[in-house]
């Protein structure tokens, strides 16, 4: 799976979860960039990503992810 | 909405909940608004959001109060202005085994463990009683799921020191409270978790990360179950099953294969599955669910199939049998019109997706569960929660008893030469008083169920009943009747609104199971006594005809009212002037007012 594909898929997941089709994420996207992205929606987002890519983040990963770039790095590592 | 019907895709619901909510709010219906307080012992945010979806799908629009994280007990038992001001219609207490504070220690003896159990339980009971006293609304309480690990292995369930054993005992105590408190309902997460499997139900990951006591993916299952209880409380259960025949109640096509070749009975695996499904349906009819047939068949063949020697269901088990060649959607419309039921209260059971599609298109409010293979039929109907029972203990289960008592009464009646003597021998006692908190839910239920002895057919929700009871502009009476064979429970109601020296009767109903017992006379007597006390001199009664209430057309006349007016649709108004010397009409019932 290429990085590009992952970003494409992530766009769709973010759009579903936040119900906003204008969302496009980049490496640098952080929670503060998206209006509804609070700690409660974070769970929903993480679970949707896990389900989509059929992976599991571990506890330290979920707590330490700083931006979408770090999230993508973990996904790529799992899918490799 | 298909996405919210069993079997639903939990991942999809969670991910798309924002979009789903928008779609649900676009439905062209008037939502029933309800105020729901969620008191949580763990995170409840997504439970609330998903519960909202299922409720909207049932036509109920919730307004939520949500306790702060793990503040359920404090919120319930201490002064709480915010919750007071919220005026909950329903309280849902979401607790799990994570909220059990003390478990038995391995060194504890029997007595210590019994005390521990009592203390743990009493904390909950105190909370429920406080909530009942303060808010007087239905309470939905989770029981407990089993623990994630078993220190004692299999012995954990049988040894008094085992957590599993301890939880089993707590659950029994919860159940006992539910048995004796009408508006208290257990949301059985013990069963739900078993159904899912404990590992799927409660992944500790979500507890450590987000303080969710259950897995994120288990939330829709939980919320669905709670929504089912709530919709049942508001009378939104399904009432009737409309059943196809060929490949639904038996394998094969009766018109082509012939009765003797139908797959039904113990001889084959499929035949067993169809038989079991028929038994399951028969149990529903005993619970008061109306069974009907909607089949593309000649009627003769349909009836022949139902007379198959292995058929559990017989023609007598059905109220309406439509076996013909017209579109099934036409049949359904005729069935609900004949039964005087709403289309929303029907479940259409047919193995053929094309037939289901026709119903979806033409009568979309009818539920059409996907019946895929006979070994799964039961499961699909069962998990859908169509007939969630809330009042079996008070009404339906007693129904059998009451019918038996009625048979005894009939027997006794035939042993008397005259009816008055029979009535006297029943030694009837009634309590006729203003509405009291204990009966509010029964009263609301009765206003929604009574069709025949019902002068105005006005329906009330429980909170409307409570408002009326608390308002001194209204006069309310409930009548509870018992005799030597047992109690009949609350069987009659009157609600009147007071306008100066006049009383207008908004509602007068009586359960048909106490017809001809002079209960209506006793109600009239008490009504007059109460009016006299409050200085009311005129009573106005109203009769609004419906297809079902013809039996009370002349009721007010029989009570001594005079007709004041009548309109072309048959609505009549009646007037009764109270004389100082009122003579009681009832002679056989000892009344406590």
Domain boundaries defined on chain A: 3-79
E strand map for B282-423: 290-296, 320-324, 346-349
Q: pLDDT band for position B313 (50/70/90)?
A: very high
Question: Quick check: B167 and B96 in contact, CB under 8 A?
Answer: no
Which CATH number covers residue B190? 3.40.50.1110
| Same domain? B228 vs B103 | yes
Among the partner residues A16, A40, A63, nearest to B16 by beta-carbon distance: A16
Q: Which of A11, A41, A48 to mutate to test the interface with B (most CBs of B within 10 A)?
A: A48
B564 and B537 part of one domain = yes
Cβ-in-10-Å burial (0-12, 13-18, 19+) of B547 comes to: exposed
Query: Which among A40, A47, A63 is the nearest to B14, CB-wise?
Result: A47
Same domain, B8 and B36: yes
Cβ–Cβ under 8 Å, residues B190 and B145: yes
Q: Which of A44, A62, A63 sits opposite B46 (nearest CB)?
A: A44
- The pLDDT of residue B199: 93
- Segment A47-66 shows an average pLDDT of 91
Contact B306, B313 (CB under 8 A): yes
Q: How many folded domains does chain B comprise?
A: 3
Mean pLDDT of B60-66: 97
State the residue range of the domain holding B268.
240-383
Measured in angstroms, the CA of B536 and the nearest CA of chain A are apart by 59
Pairwise CA distance, residues B99 & A49, whole Å: 30
* Domain boundary pick from B207, B233, B259: B233
Contact call for residues B42 and B93 (beta carbons, < 8 A): no
Same domain, B423 and B284: no
Higher pLDDT, B223 or B321: B223
Please tell me which residue of chain A has the smallest CA distance to B217.
A47
Place of tokens 């029989």: B558
Q: How does the average pLDDT of chain B come out, rounded?
A: 92
pLDDT of residue B400 exceeding 50, the answer is: no
Higher pLDDT, B112 or B406: B112
Q: Which pLDDT tens digit goes with each residue over B445-457?
A: 889 878 889 999 9
Q: Which of A9, A17, A18, A47 to mutate to test the interface with B (most CBs of B within 10 A)?
A: A47
Contact indicator for B421, B588 with CB cutoff of 8 Å: no
CA separation for the pair B349, B371 (Å, rounded): 7
What is the sign, positive or negative, of the torsion defined by CA atoms of B354, B360, B366, B369?
positive
Burial class (CB in 10 A: 0-12, 13-18, 19+), B286: exposed
* B343, B226: one domain: no
- The pLDDT value recorded for residue B461 is 83
Q: How far is CA B305 from CA A65, B283, B515, in A?
A: 65, 20, 39
Q: Which whole number is the average pLDDT over B514-529?
A: 93
- State whether B126 and B249 are in the same domain: no
Task: Identify the pLDDT of residue B518.
Answer: 93
- With pLDDT > 90 as the criterion, what percentage of chain B qualifies? 76
Bridge partners (DSSP) of residue B65 are B37
Question: Which of B383, B414, B436 is the last residue in one of the domains?
Answer: B383
Q: pLDDT band at residue B393, thresholds of 50, 70 and 90?
A: very low
Q: Place A53 in a pLDDT band, splitting at 50, 70 and 90.
A: very high
Q: b or e along B128-162 (b: 16 or more beta carbons within 10 Å of the residue's beta carbon)? A: beebbebbbbbbbbbbbbbbeeeeeeeebbebebb
Nearest by CB to residue B18, choosing from A19, A47, A59, is A19
Q: Are residues B300 and B276 in the same domain?
A: yes
- In this predicted structure, the answer to whether residue B337 has a pLDDT above a threshold of 90 is no
- For residue B382, pLDDT beyond 60: yes
Residue of B15, B19, B209 with shortest CB distance to A48:
B15
B210, A18: Cβ pair inside 8 Å? no
Residue B412: the pLDDT is 78
Q: What's the token pair of residue B193?
A: 């978790």
Residue B394 clears pLDDT 70, i.e. is over it: no
Yes or no, beta carbons of B11 and A48 under 8 Å apart: yes
**Mean pLDDT lowest among B106-110, B223-227, B256-260, B563-567:** B256-260
pLDDT band at B183 (very low <50, low <70, confident <90, very high): confident
| Whether A61 contacts chain B with CB within 8 A | no
Structure confidence at residue B415 as a pLDDT band (50, 70, 90)? confident
- The enclosing H or E element of B114 equals helix B110-135
Strands B60-66 and B32-40: parallel
Residues B62-86 have a mean pLDDT of 93
DSSP string, B116-161: HHHHHHHHHHHHHHHHHHHH-S-EEEE--PPPS--TTGGGGGTSTT
Does B87 share its domain with B122?
A: yes
pLDDT at B545: 93
**A16-51 confidence digits (pLDDT tens):** 999 999 999 999 998 888 888 888 888 899 999 999
Nearest residue, CB atoms, A51 vs list B11, B18, B45: B11
**Same-domain pairing of B201 and B305:** no
* Side-by-side strand order, sheet with B290-296: B320-324, B290-296, B240-243, B346-349
Answer yes or no: CATH 1.10.1200.10 is held by domain A3-79.
Answer: yes
CATH classification at residue B445: 3.40.630.30
Report the alpha-carbon distance of residue B141 to residue B95 in Å, rounded: 8
CB contact under 8 A, A59 and B205: yes
Task: Using pLDDT thresholds of 50, 70 and 90, give the confidence band for residue B340.
Answer: confident
Query: Looking at beta carbons, which residues of chain B come within 8 Å of A47?
Result: 11, 14, 216-217
Query: Do residues B191 and B114 share a domain?
Result: yes
Which pLDDT score, from 0 to 100, does residue B396 have?
53
CB atoms A40 and B15 under 8 Å: no
Instruction: Name the DSSP letter for residue B394.
Output: I
Which residues of chain B approach chain A closer than 8 Å at the C-beta?
11, 14-19, 22, 45-46, 205-206, 208-210, 212, 216-217
The predicted pLDDT at position B452 comes to: 86
Q: What is the mean pLDDT of residues B196-221?
A: 94
Within 10 A of B117 (CB to CB), how many other CB atoms are there? 17
Neighbour tally for B440: CB within 10 Å: 22
B9 and B58 co-located in one domain:
yes
**What pLDDT score was predicted for residue B52?**
98
Q: Is residue B363 located within the same domain as residue B449?
A: no
CB contact under 8 A, B46 and A40: yes
Asked if A10 has any chain B CB less than 8 Å from its own CB, the reply is no
Strand B290-296 to B538-543 pairing:
unpaired
ipTM, two decimals, is 0.88
When pLDDT is cut at 50, 70 and 90, the band that residue B406 belongs to is low
């Amino acid at each position: 799976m290429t990085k590009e594909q992952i970003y494409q898929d992530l766009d769709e997941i973010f759009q579903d979860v936040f119900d906003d089709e204008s969302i496009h994420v980049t490496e640098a996207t952080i929670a503060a960039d998206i209006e509804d992205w609070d700690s409660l929606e974070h769970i929903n987002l993480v679970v949707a990503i896990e389900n989509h890519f059929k992976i599991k983040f571990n506890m330290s990963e979920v707590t330490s992810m700083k931006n979408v770039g770090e999230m993508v790095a973990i996904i790529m590592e799992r899918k490799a | 909405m298909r996405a919210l019907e069993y079997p639903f895709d939990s991942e999809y619901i969670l991910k798309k909940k924002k979009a789903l909510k928008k779609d649900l709010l676009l439905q062209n219906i008037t939502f029933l608004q309800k105020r729901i307080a969620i008191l949580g012992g763990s995170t409840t945010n997504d439970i609330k959001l998903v519960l909202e979806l299922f409720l909207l799908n049932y036509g109920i629009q919730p307004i939520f109060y949500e306790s702060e994280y793990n503040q359920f007990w404090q919120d319930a038992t201490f002064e709480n202005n915010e919750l007071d001001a919220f005026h909950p219609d329903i309280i849902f207490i979401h607790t799990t085994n994570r909220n059990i504070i003390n478990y038995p220690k391995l060194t504890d003896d029997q007595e210590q463990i019994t005390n521990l159990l009592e203390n743990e339980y009493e904390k909950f009971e105190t909370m429920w009683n406080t909530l009942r006293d303060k808010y007087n609304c239905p309470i939905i309480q989770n029981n407990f799921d089993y623990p994630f690990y078993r220190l004692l292995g299999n012995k954990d369930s049988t040894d008094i020191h085992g957590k599993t054993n301890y939880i089993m005992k707590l659950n029994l105590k919860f159940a006992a409270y539910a048995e004796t408190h009408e508006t208290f309902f257990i949301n059985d997460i013990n069963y739900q978790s078993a159904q899912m499997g404990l590992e799927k139900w409660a992944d500790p990951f979500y507890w450590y990360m987000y303080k969710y006591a259950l897995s994120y993916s288990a939330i829709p299952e939980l919320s669905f179950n709670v929504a089912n209880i709530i919709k049942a409380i508001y009378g939104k259960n399904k009432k009737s099953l409309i059943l196809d025949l060929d490949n639904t109640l038996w394998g094969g096509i009766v018109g082509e294969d012939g009765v003797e070749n139908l797959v039904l009975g113990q001889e084959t695996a499929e035949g067993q599955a169809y038989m079991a499904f028929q038994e399951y349906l028969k149990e529903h009819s005993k619970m008061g669910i109306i069974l009907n047939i909607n089949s593309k068949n000649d009627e003769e063949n349909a009836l022949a199939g139902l007379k198959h020697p292995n058929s559990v269901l017989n023609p007598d088990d059905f109220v309406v049998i439509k076996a013909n060649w017209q579109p099934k959607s036409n049949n359904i419309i005729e069935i609900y019109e004949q039964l005087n039921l709403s289309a929303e209260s029907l479940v259409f059971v047919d193995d053929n997706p094309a037939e289901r599609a026709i119903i979806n298109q033409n009568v979309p409010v009818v539920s059409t569960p996907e019946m895929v293979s006979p070994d799964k039929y039961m499961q699909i109907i069962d998990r859908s929660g169509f007939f969630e029972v809330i009042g079996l203990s008070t009404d339906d289960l007693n129904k059998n008893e009451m019918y038996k008592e009625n048979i005894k009464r009939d027997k006794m009646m035939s042993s008397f030469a005259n009816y008055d003597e029979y009535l006297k021998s029943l030694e009837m006692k009634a309590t006729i008083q203003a509405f009291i908190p204990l009966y509010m839910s029964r009263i609301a239920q009765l206003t929604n169920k009574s069709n025949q002895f019902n002068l105005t057919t006005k329906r009330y929700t429980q909170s409307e009943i409570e408002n009326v009871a608390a308002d001194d502009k209204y006069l309310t009476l409930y009548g509870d009747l018992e005799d030597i064979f047992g109690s009949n429970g609350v069987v009659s109601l009157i609600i009147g609104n007071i306008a100066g020296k006049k009383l207008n009767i908004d509602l007068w109903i009586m359960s048909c199971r106490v017809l001809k017992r002079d209960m209506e006379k006793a109600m009239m007597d008490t009504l007059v006594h109460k009016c006299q006390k409050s200085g009311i001199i005129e009573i106005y009664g109203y009769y609004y005809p419906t297809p079902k209430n013809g039996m009370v057309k002349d009721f007010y006349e029989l009570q001594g009212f005079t007709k004041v007016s009548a309109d072309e649709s048959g609505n009549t108004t009646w007037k009764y002037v109270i004389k100082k010397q009122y003579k009681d009409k009832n002679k056989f019932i000892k009344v406590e007012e």
